[in-house]
Structures are given as structure tokens and as C-alpha cells.
């Protein structure tokens, strides 16, 4: 690891100012579970490390009056998975946080750091995509909000500007009776990144008609991927196992997985369909329903 | 001890004596963090080593520019191959250059070494070295390396040093080693001609890393008397001393190897790397030099389990009995044979395809082959993990093809007393039938109904117990403790605790009175090192013999100082008993104090169990059952249940023994389901433990271990080995269970979900 200067701003504007001052030479550090590994492997070699640990304002979770919630970027995974606000908002979101690595990592890794790392194999991003999350980014000209699916650009690349800091994850209210699910498929070991992960939520109307559905997949593309073709095929349809099966097949053309130790591209594509169908079937069976 | 059949020890009495759970001699030091491992050593003036490794799988070195590295502040020395040539290292064949001087042979081969004030500076300086390479054609596949026209990867092989003996001539220059064993009909084809049916299958297994917690580390310095001191993670310090002497040209007496606490081994700590370069750096700088590998270094360029291709062919007669068996086992040896300690330079475990069966005619051929990949080494049951997977899958496939129950087929063909092993070995006590019958009973085999998509698989194996020659010294100290001095390091197995318990039992003293001291190669008597499942056997026997001698001496001395006739004083339950005991007991400490006033009370004992000729060898037998559920849509394998039936001798360290059996089983599970060190275009692609997966607690099924004791183990009190047994049969049992559950046969390890899924789609058409 190359040596670096460690900076610890006391406020978001101060962090932004340091970003402006040091530009490419600086890297933000939140929980550090991913960053420090990259630094140890010399894949990231910053001259300045801007630690966000003193930004206590970004360490809280709060319910918004409308039923939505806000998660501070420095909330740890462990905090998020145990938060009643998160569990009440969407049990599958708590589940997605709980599936990340081990409890030691989850006590350290932050929700914002996870998103900024932009690893398409992480657990929370697909679930947050399925929940229509938006991100608040602080910059020299104040704040802007970005929908999560516009935030992910490519492997380990995001829309976060070189002078910006991710401060908040905002989740809008969900219709009463929304069902949600997060399924992680990691067949090598229970402690592994997903071969394929599926996050979905569903709001059914009378006669099992799909009023609103979201489907997002992890580990199958260069970014955590929302699959709108499946959503479109389901929306407005009375859902039956057959409809679900046929819609799930559309995943095949939507994903672009790569060969790696967790499976060949063709296997991952096949598994993306299998697990999409399983996730949607769970929803149809009532999984993760929120009390109305 | 040789040539004499052992009298059966009083087994039950011995077993009862060792039934209480052991207290580890080093336990307190380890849990309080006081145990000092090689990586913890810091010496005054110490420098750090950094290395530059080759990014090319096979290339000539055209030029090396070290100017920038030398100019880096804090750098004390920069060495290249030119500074160390022709220094090569290895456990038997010294074919691995300390630093490559003319050519590099794999991605990870070292081309330069730096000694600097800090690790960061050393690594930074190493990165600043510029090397010009000229690529040579690289060979990754052993079959390709064995073609007649293949490029010779080691043109200078005839100049390589070979420790203890001469290297046998080989039919191809790219062979590292070759071993052929034949039994029965010298023309195996004649034997096959007598078979009713012949089956042939080919299996593939990958490289695996040992996965110990502690990476290789070393500190080397040269003292003013020109003695080279080596603090090492090597588990065979005397062997390392011999290897370093051969590499450096120094007499062994000028090298002192000190292998302290070792954080896991599993075979991987038998080969040293950094010690050699650190010696040259220490010589160049006059300072102590330390090197500690990262886990990326470990995974890229140490000595993993060999990848193998195993072609098996077996003939059975009309009565389903094995008639002939042929195995062609090809191990990918990688760029150097340095990791292999046997004179044949193969893993003889590769012979063990049908280790527990009676086969009248066999032809077993094992090859290790040079390629431009990471060099292979020894890892827990070397060779036999690969051979066992192939052989026990093969047996199951044959049983299925014959329409026979796999347990019945195995029992029919199992080794029985009087039978030779498939490689012609005489076996002291074949227990194949016993372990298989017990497995049947314990699992309700053929009786228990299974839910849909569940399947059960079994496996059986025999593995020999290691031998060799070692010595210990026992001494009564002034503080009334008894010191046992040994040269064997304890890499976590509990060897030192075992020494204490055996010595205390023989002496009849409180185990806390026995202090085990691990000496360096300068202070301890010779020992061949921890490995080959020999330690309990030979170190245990040496401790037992030494303790018996010491007891005799203590009793004589006690009689003398207490003024009783010789033979009237016995050491019993930690005190000296006079006559029939009516005269009372004397506290050990009180008598000891008087005994140590005179000449030192010290004895030495040697145990020599070097194997010779046709004398029966000692084996452990084991049988495995695994029940799985297979998800037909994904191919995922869920372990539902597991039973291990294992042949044990007298158990001396109950906790550690259980740990070896259960831990070995989990080790085997990793190889069955997830562990694979893949090499693409010569480069290992899993350079961290997030990518190279080892099993975690969450991956384990309920495992039940059933011990079948015997009194006939070769170790002290009838002990057997436990270290390299329970991992061997896990993978074939899982593969056989998957075939039973889903009809899908996977002949490649690990049994990933994708491989199972592919096998399923093949049978579904």
C-alpha cells in the first residue's frame, strides 16, 4: 500500500471542499472494507484519504412523515438490518443488508460506501433499485438528487462527481400491501458474493392483477440491473404461475453476465431466469407482505 | 522395532488413561497472544525483503535495470539472479532458482529481491525494477508438455542437485518424476482379457491451496561467528537446514533453523521460499532480513495441491470381483519439482486409486510433469485426494453399471486379512470390511427411505501411517520439572501436548510436571519434521521409550538418595513409593531436589520406524457416507447428513484427535464443493480468499464421526494417525450421492452447482 495523507473533515461542506482541493489524488473512505482492500492490492493508490467517520449527521435512519425513510450514507449494514424503521418499511431490504458478507464486515461497512463502490455483485443495490431509491449528493453548488439506477454507470463507476459526497439514501413510501423479496443464490459457499441475486416488489390489485412491480438483479451485468422488460410484461396482468414463468424468461435477453468462478455467463443467465421466477412466485404466494 | 511383530498393548487400560481431555501445552500463550510467530519477530537493525515477480509464464530475461530501485532512499540491497546464480532450492530436487537469472518459468517466479528499511520501501523499490523479457512458448497442459516435440522446460536439469541419492532417469525431459507399480500379471492386458467387463473413466481435479491462517514468513541473519540463523515457518527444520546448506554451499553446522509457532501447515509449510533470498539479502547487507508473504503471494506462487487427470480402467469377472485395475495418473507439477520430498518426485498417494480393495492385477503409473504454472507441492494426503476421488467415483459407476448396491460391491471386493494392497503392500491389519460394515449399520444403508431428490453416496479408503526416525532427550531439572527436548515443531496438531501426555503416563507423574521444549536445529536432536502423519507415531514412541528409560533412572537414583535397596523405590502417581508402600510416599519435588545435586539426570531415546522392504505397513481405514439433496433447476448440492466411520488406535489427545478427524472432513468438503485454484494462461486467477473459497461454519452439514478402535496402532499405546485420513473420501462420497440423487455424474472437482446442472441437462437430453 502506498502511503497517504489522512484527512478527517468535520462537516459535509468541509468534505466537499477537500474533494475540490485534491481532486483525483484523493479518495473518500467510509467503512473502508472495500477501499482498504483495493488499496492493499494497489488497485487504488490515493495520495489523500478523506475519512468520513466524523460526519455523525450521516449516521442516522429516520422515517419520513409520508411512510418513506431516509438512510444516512454512513449507516452501517448491521445498523440498517436491525433498524425497525427499515424492517417496517420493507422486510426484504433488511434481509438484503443482512446478506452482505459476515457480521464483522457488516458492523463496519456503510450503506453509502457500498453504493459508491458500485460492485454489481453486492446485495443491497438491487433491493434499493426495486424500491426506487434516490440518492442525495452534496457538492460545491449544494445538493442534487439522482435516481439510483442513474447512479450506477459501469463496473465500480458511478455518477458521483469528483467534488461530491453521497450523503443520503431516500426511499419513497410504498403502497400498502406491497410484497417484497430478496433472494441471493451463492451455491459455492454461504459466505460468498451472489452468483445471481434477485430483488423484487409487487403490489397486487383485485383478481391478483399486478398494479406495480419492480425487479432488479445483481451479479448479472456491469451494474446492478433493473429489468423493465419483465416489469412491463407483468404490469396490468392477472398473475398466474404461467404468466410469471413467461415473463421471467425475458430476463435472458436483459442481462450481460461474465464468466467467473461463480459460474459461466450462460449458467448465470439461466440462473437469472430461474431465480427471477422463484422470486416472483414467492411474491405471488405472499412473501414479505407489509401490513396494510 | 523392525522385523518384530508388536505384542498387543493393554489397550483398554491405555485408552482409559488418556480419556481426559488434554490441556494444550501452548494454549495459554496462544490465547493470550504471547505466542510469537515468525512474522512477529522484530530484530534490531532488521530490514524487510521485497520481491519482483515475473508477469510472464515463460520468457528469457533480456535485461534487468535496478538503478531506480537502488536509488530509492531506504534501500540497502537489490539482488537479481546474477547475484545468486546458480543457487536453486527444493525439498529433494533443487530446481527452483532463488532468483531467476536466465529465464522465468511461471507467473510469480522471482526475478529480483530488495532489502530496505520498511516493507513499503522494499515493495516500492521492487516495483521500480525494469525487466525486459523475450517470451518463449509457454506450456500449461501436462499432456502437451509430454509430446515428443515439446519444448524442454529445464534444459539444464542434469546439473540440478538432488538431496540424498541420485535421480532416476526419465523417459521425457519434461517429466519431473515417474513411478510405476505393477502387481500380478506383468502384462496387464492379459489380465484384462480375463475380465468379463471392463470399465474406463477419466477424472479431473484442480489445484488447491492449503488455506492455513499464517502465510509463509522468515527472518534470516548472519551472526559475527558466521552462523546463519533462520527463523522460519517450515515444519521440518532439519530438512530446511539440509536444503539451505545445499543451496548456499554452507556446511549444515553453520545454519540454525528455528521453527517456532506455526499457524497451520496442511503440507504447505514443508517448502520454504523466502529463507533463501533472505539469506542472500542478509549476506549482502549484514543485517537481519525479514519476509512475510501476503495471501496474494501465497495463492500466486507457493506450492498448492497438484491438479490431476486420472484415467482409470478396471475389469471385473462374472462374480463382480475385481480382476485387473490400471491407473494413469498425470499430475501437473508446475514450473518446478522443488515442492516434492520423495525421491520419486511424485505423490505416491496417486497410487491409491483403489486403496481398500483386493485387486490381483494392477498397473499403477504416476507422472508429475513440468509446465509453466505455479509449482505443485504436498497438501494433506498428497496424491490420494485426487486418486481417492477418481477411484471411489469409478467404483460407484461400476457398481451402478453392474446393477449392484455400491456398499455390497465394495464389501465383496474389500481387502481382507492376508490380502496385499493394490500396490503390493503388506498391510498389518486390513479393516476395510469392518469400516464398511459399520458404515452400513450406522447409516441404515439400504433400509432408510429417502425423500425425493435426496441421494446417498459412500466411499472407503486406506492410508498408511508415516514412519521415520526421531529422537528426544529427557532431563530432570532442578525445579522438579521434567523437560522433554524435541526437534519437531507443533504446527497446531497438538504434537507437543501429546509428548507431554505420553511421557507423563509412562513416568506416572502429573502432566504439568512435564515441560516440552522445542529446540532449534542446533539444540534439539534430529527430527524429520511434522508431516506424512508420522508425528504421533514416531515422536510419540521416542517420548515413550525415553520416559521409560528416565523412569528407571529416577527410581534407581531415588533409591540411592533415600537409602533403600535398588528396586525398592517406585515412581507412582507423582510420588516415590518405597517397598510395599507401608513406609509412605515421598513427594516428587523433595526427592528430585536431592537427585539433581549430582550428575545431570538425562536420557535420550530414538525411535526408528523407517520403512523397509516387505515388512507389513500400518494403515488407517475409513468409510464415508454423505446424504445430499440436489436442486434440479440449479444443480445446487445441499448436504443433509454425513457419517464418517474411522479406524482409530488408542486416542492420546481426545480433543485434537477429534479436531483432526472433523477438521479433515471439512477440509475434504472444501475440495468437494468449492476449492479450486484456477490458472488461466499461466496466471492464478483467485488471488484473495474472497475468490478462493474455503468452507465456513454455515456450509457444514451435521457430521457424525464413529470411531472403531483397535489396539494395533504403531504409535505409543497403540495409537494411529488421524491427520491425513478423513479428508480423502469426502469428495467421492458427495459425487456418488449426487449421482444417486439426480442421476448426474460429475467427474471433475469441485462439484459446483454449474457442473451438476450441466450433468443433469446431459441426462435429460
Q: Which residue of A has its CA nearest to B690?
A: A192
Cα–Cα nearest to B345, from B329, B333, B362, B355: B333
User: What pLDDT is stored for residue A290 in this prediction?
Assistant: 62
- At B525-569, the pLDDT tens digits run 999 999 999 999 999 999 999 999 999 999 999 999 999 999 999
User: What pLDDT is stored for residue B765 in this prediction?
Assistant: 58
Rounded-to-integer distance, Cα B115 and Cα B45, Å: 12
Cβ distance A188 to B673 less than 8 Å, yes or no, reads: yes
Cα–Cα distances in Å, from B297 out to A12, A151, A201, B45?
A: 39, 36, 44, 25
Interface test with B, best of A187, A249, A259, A266 (most B CBs within 10 A): A187
- B6 has pLDDT over 50: no
Cα–Cα distances in Å, from B150 out to A6, A206, B107, B142, B143?
A: 54, 72, 20, 10, 10
User: What pLDDT is stored for residue A292 in this prediction?
Assistant: 46
Q: Write down the mean pLDDT value for chain A.
A: 96
Q: pTM for the complete prediction?
A: 0.96
* Cβ B347 vs Cβ B187: under 8 Å: no
SS3 of A161-207: the string is CCCCEEEEEEECCCCCCCEEEEEEECCCCCCCCCCEEEEEEEEECHH
Give every CB contact of residue B690 below 8 A, 6+ residues apart in sequence.
Answer: A193
C-alpha cell at B241: 537446514
Cα–Cα nearest to A266, from A186, A166, A195, A200: A195
Rounded-to-integer distance, Cα B478 and Cα B592, Å: 7
- At B557-616, the pLDDT tens digits run 999 999 999 999 999 999 999 988 787 899 999 999 999 888 899 999 999 999 776 789
* Cβ B139 vs Cβ B145: under 8 Å: yes
Cα–Cα nearest to B259, from B292, B218, B225: B218
Query: pLDDT over 70 for what percent of chain B?
Result: 98
What ipTM, to 2 d.p.?
0.95
- At A237-248, the pLDDT tens digits run 999 999 999 999
DSSP assignment of B576-601 equals: EEETTTTT-EEEHHHHHHHHTTSS--
Option in B674, B676, B754 nearest A263 (CB): B754
Q: Which residue of A has its CA nearest to B750?
A: A188
Cβ distance A191 to B676 less than 8 Å, yes or no, reads: no
Cβ distance A188 to B757 less than 8 Å, yes or no, reads: no
Cα–Cα distances in Å, from B412 out to B359, B437, B619, B649, B729?
A: 11, 11, 20, 25, 19
Query: Taking CB atoms and an 8 Å cutoff, what residues of chain A touch B636?
Result: 185, 187
Query: Taking CB atoms and an 8 Å cutoff, what residues of chain A touch B753?
Result: 187-188, 195, 263
Rounded-to-integer distance, Cα A165 and Cα A181, Å: 30
Q: Which residue of A has its CA nearest to B675?
A: A188
**What is the distance, to the nearest Å, from the Cα of residue A275 to the centroid of all Cα atoms in its chain?**
18
DSSP assignment of B217-275 equals: EEEEEE-TT-PEEEEE--S-HHHHHHHHHHHH---GGGEEEEE-B-S--TTGGGS-SHH
Q: Which residue of A has its CA nearest to B638?
A: A187
- A88 has pLDDT over 60: yes
Q: Write down the mean pLDDT value for chain B.
A: 95
Cβ distance A267 to B690 less than 8 Å, yes or no, reads: no
Cα–Cα nearest to A6, from A57, A46, A38: A46
Residues of chain B with a CB closer than 8 angstroms to some CB in chain A: 120, 124, 294, 296, 633-637, 673-674, 676, 678, 685-688, 690-691, 693-696, 698-699, 752-754, 757
> Averaged over A199-228, what is the pLDDT?
97
- B11 has pLDDT over 70: no
Rounded-to-integer distance, Cα B512 and Cα B27, Å: 13
pLDDT higher at B12 or B699: B699
> Averaged over A213-222, what is the pLDDT?
98
Determine what percent of chain B falls in helix, strand and coil, rounding each to the nearest 5. 30, 25, 40
Instruction: Please report the residues numbered 245 through 264 in chain A whose beta carbons come closer than 8 angstroms to any beta carbon of chain B.
Output: 261, 263-264
Element (H, E) at B309: strand B307-316
**What is the distance, to the nearest Å, from the Cα of residue B95 to the centroid of all Cα atoms in its chain?**
21
Rounded-to-integer distance, Cα B720 and Cα B281, Å: 43
A198-207, A283-292, B244-253, range with the lowest pLDDT:
A283-292
- Burial class (CB within 10 angstroms; exposed 0-12, middle 13-18, buried 19+) of A176: exposed
Rounded-to-integer distance, Cα B16 and Cα B711, Å: 13
Q: Where are the alpha helices (DSSP H) in B95-186?
A: 119-127, 142-145
* Cβ B47 vs Cβ B116: under 8 Å: yes
Residue whose C-alpha cell is 461497512? A109
- Burial class (CB within 10 angstroms; exposed 0-12, middle 13-18, buried 19+) of B700: middle
* Cβ B541 vs Cβ B609: under 8 Å: yes
* Cβ B411 vs Cβ B439: under 8 Å: no
Element (H, E) at B660: helix B654-673
User: What pLDDT is stored for residue B12 in this prediction?
Assistant: 62
- B51 has pLDDT over 70: yes
C-alpha cell at B229: 540463523
Query: pLDDT over 90 for what percent of chain A?
Result: 95
Cβ distance A189 to B688 less than 8 Å, yes or no, reads: no
Cα–Cα nearest to B390, from B366, B358, B368: B366
**HSE value, Cβ hemisphere, 13 Å, CA-based, for B396:** 28
Find the angle CA(B60)-CA(B61)-CA(B65) to the nearest 5 degrees. Answer: 165
> Averaged over B228-257, what is the pLDDT?
98
Q: Where are the alpha helices (DSSP H) in B128-194?
A: 142-145, 188-193
User: What pLDDT is stored for residue B763 in this prediction?
Assistant: 87
Rounded-to-integer distance, Cα B533 and Cα B539, Å: 11
Q: Using 50, 70 and 90 to split pLDDT, how confident is the model at B408?
A: very high
User: Distance (Å) from the C-alpha of residue B606 to the closest C-alpha of chain A?
Assistant: 46
Q: Using 50, 70 and 90 to split pLDDT, how confident is the model at B165?
A: confident
User: Distance (Å) from the C-alpha of residue A263 to the closest C-alpha of chain B?
Assistant: 7
Cβ distance B693 to A188 less than 8 Å, yes or no, reads: yes
What φ, ψ does residue A113 adopt, rounded to 5°?
-60, -40
Interface test with A, best of B295, B693, B699 (most A CBs within 10 A): B693
* Cβ B717 vs Cβ B502: under 8 Å: yes
> Averaged over B276-305, what is the pLDDT?
98
- B8 has pLDDT over 60: no
Cα–Cα distances in Å, from A91 out to A80, A106, A201?
A: 11, 17, 11
Amino acid at each position: 500500500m502506498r502511503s497517504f495523507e489522512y484527512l478527517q473533515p468535520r462537516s459535509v461542506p468541509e468534505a466537499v471542499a477537500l474533494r475540490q482541493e485534491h481532486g483525483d489524488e484523493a479518495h473518500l473512505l467510509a467503512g473502508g472494507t472495500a477501499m482498504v482492500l483495493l488499496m492493499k492490492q494497489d488497485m487504488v493508490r490515493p495520495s489523500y484519504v478523506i475519512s468520513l467517520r466524523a460526519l455523525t449527521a450521516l449516521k442516522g435512519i429516520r422515517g419520513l412523515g409520508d411512510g418513506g425513510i431516509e438512510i444516512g450514507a454512513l449507516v452501517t449494514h448491521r445498523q440498517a438490518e436491525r433498524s425497525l424503521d427499515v424492517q417496517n418499511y420493507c422486510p426484504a431490504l433488511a434481509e438484503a443488508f443482512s446478506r452482505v458478507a459476515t457480521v464483522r464486515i457488516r458492523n463496519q461497512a456503510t450503506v453509502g460506501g457500498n453504493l459508491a463502490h458500485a460492485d454489481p455483485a453486492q446485495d443491497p443495490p438491487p433491493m434499493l433499485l426495486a424500491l426506487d431509491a434516490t440518492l442525495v449528493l452534496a457538492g460545491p453548488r449544494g445538493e442534487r438528487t439522482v435516481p439510483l439506477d442513474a447512479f450506477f454507470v459501469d463496473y465500480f463507476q458511478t455518477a458521483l462527481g469528483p467534488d461530491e459526497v453521497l450523503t443520503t439514501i431516500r426511499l419513497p413510501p410504498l403502497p400498502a400491501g406491497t410484497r417484497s423479496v430478496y433472494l441471493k443464490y451463492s451455491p459455492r459457499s454461504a459466505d460468498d458474493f451472489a452468483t445471481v441475486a434477485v430483488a423484487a416488489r409487487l403490489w397486487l390489485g383485485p383478481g391478483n392483477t399486478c398494479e406495480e412491480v419492480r425487479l432488479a438483479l445483481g451479479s448479472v451485468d456491469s451494474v446492478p440491473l433493473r429489468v423493465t422488460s419483465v416489469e412491463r410484461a407483468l404490469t396490468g396482468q392477472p398473475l398466474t404461475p404461467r404468466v410469471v414463468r413467461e415473463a421471467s424468461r425475458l430476463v435472458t435477453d436483459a442481462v450481460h453476465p461474465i464468466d467467473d468462478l461463480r459460474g459461466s455467463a450462460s449458467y448465470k443467465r439461466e440462473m437469472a431466469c430461474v431465480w427471477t421466477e422463484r422470486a416472483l412466485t414467492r411474491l405471488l404466494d405472499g412473501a414479505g407482505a407489509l401490513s396494510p | 522395532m523392525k522385523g518384530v511383530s508388536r505384542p498387543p498393548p493393554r489397550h483398554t487400560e491405555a485408552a482409559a488413561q488418556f480419556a481426559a481431555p488434554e490441556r494444550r501445552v501452548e494454549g495459554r500463550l496462544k490465547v493470550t497472544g504471547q505466542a510469537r510467530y515468525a512474522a512477529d519477530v522484530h530484530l534490531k537493525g532488521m530490514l524487510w525483503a521485497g520481491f519482483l515477480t515475473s508477469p510472464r509464464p515463460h520468457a528469457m530475461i533480456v535485461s534487468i535495470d535496478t538503478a531506480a530501485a537502488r536509488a530509492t532512499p531506504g534501500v540497502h540491497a537489490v539482488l537479481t539472479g546474477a547475484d545468486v546464480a546458480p543457487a536453486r532450492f527444493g525439498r529433494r530436487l533443487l530446481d527452483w532458482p532463488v532468483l531467476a537469472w536466465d529465464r522465468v518459468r511461471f507467473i510469480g517466479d522471482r526475478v529480483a529481491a530488495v532489502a530496505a528499511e520498511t516493507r513499503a520501501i522494499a515493495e516500492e523499490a521492487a516495483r521500480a525494477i525494469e525487466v525486459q523479457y523475450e517470451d518463449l512458448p509457454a506450456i500449461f497442459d501436462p499432456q502437451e508438455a509430454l509430446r515428443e516435440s515439446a519444448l524442454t522446460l529445464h534444459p539444464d536439469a542434469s546439473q540440478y542437485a538432488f538431496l540424498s541419492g541420485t535421480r532416476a532417469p526419465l523417459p521425457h525431459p519434461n517429466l519431473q518424476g515417474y513411478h510405476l507399480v505393477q502387481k500380478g500379471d506383468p502384462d496387464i492386458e492379459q489380465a484384462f482379457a480375463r475380465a468379463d467387463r471392463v470399465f474406463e473413466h477419466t477424472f479431473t481435479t484442480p489445484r488447491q491451496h492449503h488455506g492455513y491462517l499464517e502465510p509463509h514468513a522468515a527472518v534470516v541473519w548472519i551472526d559475527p561467528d558466521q552462523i546463519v540463523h533462520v527463523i522460519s515457518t517450515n515444519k521440518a527444520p532439519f530438512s530446511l537446514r539440509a536444503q539451505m546448506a545445499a543451496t548456499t554451499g554452507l556446511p549444515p553446522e553453520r545454519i540454525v533453523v528455528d521453527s517456532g509457532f506455526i499457524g497451520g501447515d496442511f503440507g504447505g509449510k514443508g517448502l520454504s521460499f523466502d529463507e533463501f533470498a533472505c539469506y542472500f539479502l542478509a549476506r549482502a547487507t549484514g543485517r537481519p532480513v525479514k519476509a512475510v508473504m501476503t495471501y496474494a503471494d501465497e495463492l500466486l506462487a507457493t506450492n498448492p495441491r497438484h491438479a490431476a487427470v486420472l484415467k482409470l480402467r478396471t475389469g471385473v469377472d462374472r462374480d463382480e470381483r475385481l480382476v485387473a485395475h490400471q491407473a494413469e495418473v498425470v499430475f501437473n507439477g508446475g514450473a518446478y519439482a522443488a515442492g516434492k520430498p520423495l525421491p520419486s518426485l511424485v505423490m505416491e498417494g496417486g497410487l491409491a486409486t483403489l486403496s481398500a480393495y483386493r485387486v490381483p492385477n494392477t498397473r499403477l503409473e504416476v507422472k508429475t510433469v513440468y509446465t509453466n504454472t505455479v509449482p505443485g507441492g504436498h497438501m494433506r494426503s498428497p496424491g490420494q485426494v485426487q486418486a481417492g476421488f477418481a477411484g471411489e467415483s469409478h467404483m460407484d459407476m461400476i457398481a451402478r453399471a453392474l446393477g449392484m448396491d455400491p456398499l455390497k460391491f465394495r464389501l465383496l471386493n474389500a481387502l481382507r486379512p492376508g490380502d496385499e494392497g493394490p500396490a503390493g503392500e503388506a498391510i498389518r491389519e486390513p479393516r476395510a470390511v469392518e469400516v464398511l460394515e459399520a458404515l452400513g449399520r450406522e447409516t441404515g444403508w439400504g433400509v432408510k427411505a429417502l425423500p425425493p431428490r435426496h441421494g446417498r453416496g459412500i466411499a472407503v479408503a486406506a492410508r498408511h501411517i508415516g514412519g521415520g526416525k526421531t529422537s528426544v532427550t529427557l532431563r530432570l531439572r532442578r525445579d522438579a520439572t521434567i523437560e522433554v527436548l524435541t526437534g519437531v515443531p507443533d504446527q497446531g496438531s497438538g504434537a507437543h501436548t501429546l509428548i507431554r501426555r505420553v511421557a507423563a503416563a509412562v513416568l506416572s507423574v502429573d502432566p504439568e510436571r512435564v515441560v516440552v521444549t522445542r529446540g532449534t536445529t542446533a539444540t534439539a536432536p534430529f527430527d524429520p519434521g511434522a508431516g506424512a502423519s508420522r508425528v504421533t507415531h514416531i515422536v510419540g514412541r521416542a517420548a515413550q521409550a525415553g520416559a521409560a528409560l528416565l523412569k528407571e533412572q529416577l527410581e534407581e537414583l531415588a533409591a540411592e538418595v533415600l537409602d533403600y535397596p535398588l528396586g525398592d523405590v517406585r515412581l507412582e502417581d507423582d510420588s516415590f513409593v518405597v517397598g510395599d508402600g507401608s513406609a509412605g510416599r515421598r513427594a516428587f519435588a523433595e526427592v528430585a531436589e536431592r537427585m539433581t545435586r549430582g550428575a545431570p539426570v538425562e536420557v535420550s531415546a530414538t525411535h526408528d520406524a523407517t520403512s523397509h522392504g516387505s515388512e507389513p505397513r500400518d494403515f488407517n481405514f475409513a468409510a464415508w457416507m454423505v446424504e445430499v439433496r440436489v436442486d434440479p433447476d440449479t444443480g445446487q448440492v445441499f448436504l443433509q447428513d454425513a457419517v464418517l466411520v474411522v479406524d482409530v488406535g488408542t486416542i492420546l489427545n481426545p480433543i485434537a484427535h477429534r479436531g483432526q478427524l472433523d477438521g479433515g472432513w471439512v477440509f475434504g468438503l472444501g475440495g468437494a464443493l468449492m476449492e479450486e485454484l484456477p490458472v488461466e494462461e499461466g496466471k492464478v486467477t483467485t488471488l484473495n480468499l474472497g475468490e478462493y473459497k474455503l468452507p465456513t461454519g454455515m456450509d457444514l452439514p451435521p457430521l457424525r464421526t464413529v470411531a472403531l478402535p483397535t489396539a494395533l496402532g504403531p504409535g505409543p499405546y497403540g495409537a494411529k494417525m488421524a491427520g491425513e485420513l478423513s479428508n480423502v473420501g469426502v469428495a467421492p462420497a458427495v459425487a456418488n450421492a449426487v449421482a444417486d440423487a439426480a442421476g448426474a455424474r460429475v467427474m471433475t472437482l469441485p462439484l459446483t452447482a454449474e457442473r451438476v446442472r450441466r450433468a443433469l441437462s446431459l441426462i435429460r437430453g
